[in-house]
Amino acid sequence: MAQEEDINEEMKEIAPGFPVKGSFPPPAGYFETFPDEVLNRWKKEESQPVVRIIHWKRIITIAAVLSGLIIGGWWFFANPTLVNTNDITAVEAYQYIHENIDEFEPLFETADIEIIEGNLDIPSEAVEEYLIEETNSSDPEDLF
């Protein structure tokens, strides 16, 4: 190691009273056998076939998702109370709305209707024509 890189040399210069660092000598002969040990371990590991580690958590998650999909699908298709909306006729829909009109009230806010009316730009002649048609050609004045 170069002198400028040696920490103990630097410490002697800048702080002579500072405690000198100890070292950790390994057991005798350790560095002589270590290279072969590590190379042998590496060769052994490289020669072994790659074993894919089974992640149980992942398997459980996939199983849970699949079970959910299967149960959900079965419930969706097997439940007789579910109605296919394509089978409802216009008459049935009208009847349903008429019978449950209270549920649809929030959709018809009077404030909204007033705004729509305010934005309408219908000529009075058109209104008169409409009323004549609706009253079987009688004079609309007679209605009031």
Distance CA 18, CA 6 (A): 15
Binding of other proteins by 34 (CB under 8 A): yes
Binder to other proteins among 3, 32, 89, 106 (CB under 8 A)?
32
What residue type is assigned to position 17 of the chain? Answer: G
- Nearest CA-CA partner of 99 in 108, 91, 111: 91
Binding of other proteins by 4 (CB under 8 A): yes
Binding of other proteins by 31 (CB under 8 A): yes
What residue type is assigned to position 38 of the chain? Answer: V
Give yes or no for a contact between 8 and 19, defined as CB atoms under 8 angstroms apart: no
Binding of other proteins by 49 (CB under 8 A): no
Give yes or no for a contact between 98 and 91, defined as CB atoms under 8 angstroms apart: no
Number of residues engaging other proteins in binding (CB under 8 A): 30
Distance CA 104, CA 97 (A): 8
Closest approach, Cβ 19 to other proteins, in A, equals: 6
Of 15-23, 69-77, 88-96, 125-133, the window that binds other proteins (rule: CB under 8 A) is 15-23
Q: Going by C-beta distance under 8 Å and a sequence separation of 6 or more, which residues neighbour residue 10?
A: 4
What residue type is assigned to position 120 of the chain? Answer: L
Closest approach, Cβ 107 to other proteins, in A, equals: 60
Of 12-20, 65-73, 98-106, 120-128, the window that binds other proteins (rule: CB under 8 A) is 12-20
Interacting residue ranges for other proteins, rule: CB under 8 A: 1-2, 4-7, 11, 14-15, 17-19, 21-24, 26-27, 30-32, 34-35, 37-39, 41-43, 45
